[in-house]
Structure 1
Amino acid sequence: MASVTYLRSLANNTPYTLTLIDGENRSQSLAIGAQHVWNGSLAVPWIGKSEENYKALRLILGPGAETNIWLFQDYWQPAYMDAVKYLIASSMEYASEEVMEVPGDNREGGSKNLIVSLVNRQFKLLMA
């Protein structure tokens, strides 16, 4: 049986405000200031096909809010691992070859912390 991942904290270790929009409930959004942390509980949505792209959490960053990072839990790949994945792109596409697992403790569900950093002008994610 699949296990849900809950974000319990989100650390924005960048010089930009991070806006998070919940794809399943677009009225639920967060703004996390530069070098600040949000604490709470937010389920990472399951996606298993392109028709479910709308569910992904959208993280918006950058000096002109031009970077979109899509965060979701993969229902199928790899099977029974409950991997949290991300895509940096203007729009979400589950089948994209650019989709990657979030580095760190991203499998098997449960309570997790997400850290967003800026390294050499590129946004990096880490799950702990």
Structure 2
Amino acid sequence: MFDHIHHVAIIASDYARSKAFYTGVLGLPVIAEAYRAERDSWKLDLKLGDAQIELFSFPDPPARVSRPEACGLRHLALSVADLDAAVAHLTAHGVACEAVRVDEYTGRRFTFFADPDGLPLELYER
């Protein structure tokens, strides 16, 4: 019945800054972009494997607790083939990453970083 994630929706406080981060730094391809005048909102659909990230802008969105240990959605994890290369890429773009850790159950390496609004993102090595 439920077989995969279709999309994850993110509301950005600064649409241009977040668009540059997700397309330029993370390199996600744009599927579509539209301005919705009735909502004074941009919507950007980005390809992420078989799923999508929907990036929205809204006037004056309220702040949300985004720490990984806060109640609710914990973080968005991105799968990478080479964690060291991905961390080096982010670092070269001025994005700070936490120290690399090893998942005690799978033996896989991972780290966390944040998008421009502080949304916790994880890199998980395949």
Kindly indicate which of the two structures has a greater share of residues assigned to helix: 2
Kindly indicate which of the two structures has a greater share of residues assigned to strand: 1
Q: Which structure exhibits the higher relative contact order, with contacts defined as CA atoms closer than 8 Å and separated by 6 or more residues? A: 1
> Do the two structures share a fold, i.e. TM-score over 0.5?
no
Larger radius of gyration: 2
TM-score (norm 2): 0.30
TM-score (norm 1): 0.30
